[in-house]
Chains A and B, each alone.
Chain A
Amino acid sequence: MIRSLPRSKSYDWSFNFFILLYFAFLFAPLLVTCVLAFNDSNFPSLPWNGFSLDWFIADGPDRIGLFHDEQNLRSIVTSFQTAFFVAIFSVVVGTCASFLFEQEEFRFKGILYFLMLAPLVIPGVILGISLLLAANTAGTFFDERFGLDFELFRPSFWLVVLGQFSFISTFVTLVVSARLRKFDHSLEEAALNLGATRLGVIWHITLKFLRPSIIGAGAVAFLMSFENFNTTLFLVGSEPTLPINLYLQVRDGSTPVINAVSLMLIVGTSVLALVNLYFTKKEE
């Protein structure tokens, strides 16, 4: 029964209870991770031994807090760098793609559009291995033909950026296209009648109109890159990103430092997601 219809007490009560359970299910793992980051114990588990900031600020020799943990700090920096480049590249190419698909007519447009959507249905692991293969093939080719050796073609920072870029651009394209569809073309026509060039119109009018969605898509791209694991796993070289680094630590037995890293990650992404949400709401 819906809002406007009379509902029985037990119906309402059981539904509310179900929703409560659902949200508990949703937040329990995050909550417990955050709480245990402050537990004064050498293992990320109960009993509660008292409040401690050791897992953030301890400086050895028994405990090394996050802010002194070289390996974790470096992976955070790497993740920021990766996400920064992925966001920039995918926003530029994704915006180009939405102009291409929304405003231009050409042969093979259907095929190209299908290819643009393809990353949505390719599992991340497959994207990773195929890119690893292609990079290896290209590297061998340049090495045998020209005796050139490119860092790019081995698992490395830039290969990770390319791998994430290859599917995040699709999301950017879809977000920007949705906004571009709402654009009032009479504005463009007016500017063209007044003597503006096509590129001038795009620069001064259309891109201004698209700005909120471009910024939003950039934020989403940043977050997607920051948390990507599946594609990155195969392309990562000697500089692991944060998810990869955490994975190695979780797999090989964990200390509450991981809880501290997770807490920072939860707070950081929540703030960024909320800011993004606030701006998209305001735009509407």
Chain B
Amino acid sequence: MQRSRLAFWIFLAPVLMWLLLLIVLPHLDLLTMSFRGEDDYGDMVWTFQNYMNFFTEPIYWLTFVRTALYAIITTFITFLLAMPVSFFIAKLARKRVQGALMILLLLPFWVSELVRIYGWMILLRESGVINYFLLNLGIIDTPIEMLYNDATMIMGLVYTSMLFMVVPLVSVMESLDDSLIEAAHDLGAGQATIWRTIIIPHCKPGITSGSIVVFMLALGNYLTPNLMGGKNSLWFTEQIYNQFIASFNWSQGSAFGFLLLLLSSLIIWVGLKVTGQKLGEVAS
């Protein structure tokens, strides 16, 4: 087809501006800032001190490890919950119900994460709705504080990222030919065998893309750990926020930010390598 230089530049210019000014330069700035520090005279110098602080202060790297670990647990629980749900929608529900279920599934996720977490807080807190019912039904005598612990926080993280696991899983399950399962059934395979040898292997691309997105969202989440996790359940994004906004120590915050970026890129890269996928495929 005929090429037009003008058209090419009209497309390229805004895209270059966007990617260079808003993606590349800021992240280079983040990297350089993370190596800046003050010497004894208060002058700006290049230093590894910010990274040293991270490794010498247990609170920092422990939070880091904790965040990564909990993000992985969240991803796994989300996967366990999403699998039967997507199987139901793709393979069990009648065709008419299917569409309605998909809409129902999508709707809550268009509502701001904050509103959803707020809803959970009203439900779970000491003076909350669940405690009210438990007390009135005589199941408990004194209200239980269900907020501000790790289990609740993980539940919140699972809740906020559920959709990003279910949608890719439903779409890969829909592409699975029913006759494969029928054939396996006729040949005498049990439920477990069918899941292990047919359904799971077929769903692998969906599982990978869902897991990557859920992991990313959990790792970079600020709201849910902050509002549901309470005082003693630190999340690494909170450390970054504290360095930036509370302590005004931007270079320390940059170092933390860069470490988080490294961690998320690394785990996503490993995930893609292990399953032999490309980022472009996962995204689309």
Contact = CB atoms under 8 A, between A and B. Distances in A.
Contacts of A112: 15-16, 19
Given A5-B185, A130-B257, A247-B114, A123 B220 contact: yes
A42 interface: no
Interface residues of A, number: 97
Q: Looking at A45, A166, A242, which has the most chain B CB atoms within 10 Å of its CB? A: A45
Contact of A2 (B29, B84, B92): B92
Contacts of A18: 84-85, 88
A194 to B, nearest CB: 13
B35 interface: no
Interface in B6-49: 6-8, 10-12, 14-16, 18-19, 22-27, 29-30, 33
B52 interface: no
B106 interface: yes
Given A23-B104, A133-B30, A192-B1, A121 B115 contact: no
Contact of B23 (A118, A233, A272): A118
A246 B118 CA distance: 9
A223 interface: yes
B74 interface: no
Contacts of B133: 46
A31 B108 CA distance: 10
B220 A124 contact: yes
Contacts, number: 265
A32 B129 contact: yes
Contact of B85 (A22, A36, A45, A229): A22
B283 A120 contact: yes
B241 interface: yes
A100 B30 contact: no
A132 B118 contact: no
Contacts of B226: 251
A229 B223 contact: yes
Contact of A125 (B11, B14, B23, B257): B257
A38 interface: no
A6 B165 CA distance: 28
A133 B33 contact: yes
Contacts of A178: 284
Contacts of A118: 23
B233 to A, nearest CB: 15
A197 to B, nearest CB: 7
Interface residues of B, number: 91
A269 B85 CA distance: 24
A1 B185 contact: yes
Nearest to A22: B85
Contact of B244 (A22, A119, A120, A234): A234
A230 B108 contact: no
Given A115-B23, A133-B30, A32 B178 contact: no
A227 B14 contact: no
A4 interface: yes
A61 interface: no
A32 B123 contact: yes
Interface in B155-172: 159, 162
B110 A229 contact: no
Contacts of B234: none
A2 to B, nearest CB: 4
A117 B257 contact: no
A129 B162 contact: no
Contacts of A199: 4, 6-7, 10
A82 interface: no
B19 A116 contact: yes
Contact of A106 (B8, B111, B261): B8
A127 B110 CA distance: 21
A47 B136 CA distance: 10
A52 B212 CA distance: 45
A131 interface: yes
A47 B8 contact: no
B150 interface: no
A61 to B, nearest CB: 25
A131 B118 CA distance: 28
A243 B227 CA distance: 13
Interface string B72-112: 00000000010011001001101000000001111110111
A31 to B, nearest CB: 8
A258 B18 contact: no
B23 A265 contact: no
Given A125-B257, A254-B118, 19 more contacts: A19-B88, A30-B119, A32-B119, A44-B122, A45-B122, A104-B12, A115-B19, A117-B279, A126-B220, A133-B30, A223-B110, A226-B112, A229-B222, A233-B222, A233-B241, A243-B114, A246-B112, A259-B122, A273-B106
9 contacts: A3-B91, A29-B123, A117-B280, A129-B240, A137-B29, A192-B1, A197-B4, A259-B122, A277-B103
Ranked 5 nearest A-B pairs via Cβ? A123-B220, A29-B119, A198-B4, A130-B26, A134-B26
